[in-house]
Amino acid sequence: MTDPLPPEASDEMDLRAEALRRRKEGPPPQTRGWWTISPDTLALLYRLASQPERAGDALKLLHELQTHQIELDLQNERSQANEQELRNALDHYRSLFEQAPVGYFLVGFDGRIIETNSAGASLLGRAAPELTGQSFDEFLESGSRTPLRTLLETLANGAARATCRVRCVPLDNEPQLLRVDAKSAPGQEAGLLVMTRAEG
């Protein structure tokens, strides 16, 4: 039983097969401006083609160059398609984040707000851009600051999840009790906090 090819080798083989298929079925590829045959290569092709015994080599070389150009075109097409797919996915999850009916906060372990959605900003009575960089302590009653700090410390020390209750003081509004469910944000020194109104 032969060992399976690594993914990159399989991709290269698929790319070459598709390039050969396009080269066989279609006309010679036209340059797209970002890759051209160099003058030295053209001179070599001319020399080979001018010698009857070497004309076959010239055709083989030209075929290989055209196939390689198609491969480059395919790689460029795939790269653009992948970038568009990533942009679409980012837009999708950004929309879910913004339109969620609960408050989402990305909060650094130092207690500063990195990002929030519209529902989260509404809980604090502010617009989302105004909250970036602000200490969450500023929006909590004094007795609620320690529970939130403890929650962030728990996450910073490696806990997968943590929860607490805090009482926030929105701008020009009555204080309200919030339930905080949190987990560490992957790859960041921060916690992802989900805040909802609590009874009590």
Q: Does domain 100-197 have CATH number 3.90.1150.10?
A: no
CA-to-CA distance for 151 and 134, rounded, in angstroms? Answer: 18
Domain boundaries, the chain: 7-23+38-97, 100-197
Q: Is the dihedral of CA 186, 190, 196, 198 positive or negative?
A: positive
User: Nearest-CA neighbor of 58 among 72, 41, 71, 38?
Assistant: 41
CA-to-CA distance for 175 and 152, rounded, in angstroms? Answer: 22
pLDDT in tens, the chain (200 residues): 455 555 555 666 675 666 567 656 665 555 454 455 555 665 665 565 666 666 666 567 666 776 777 777 777 878 887 888 888 777 777 777 788 899 999 999 999 999 999 999 999 989 999 999 999 999 999 999 999 999 999 999 999 999 999 999 876 668 889 999 999 999 999 999 999 998 76
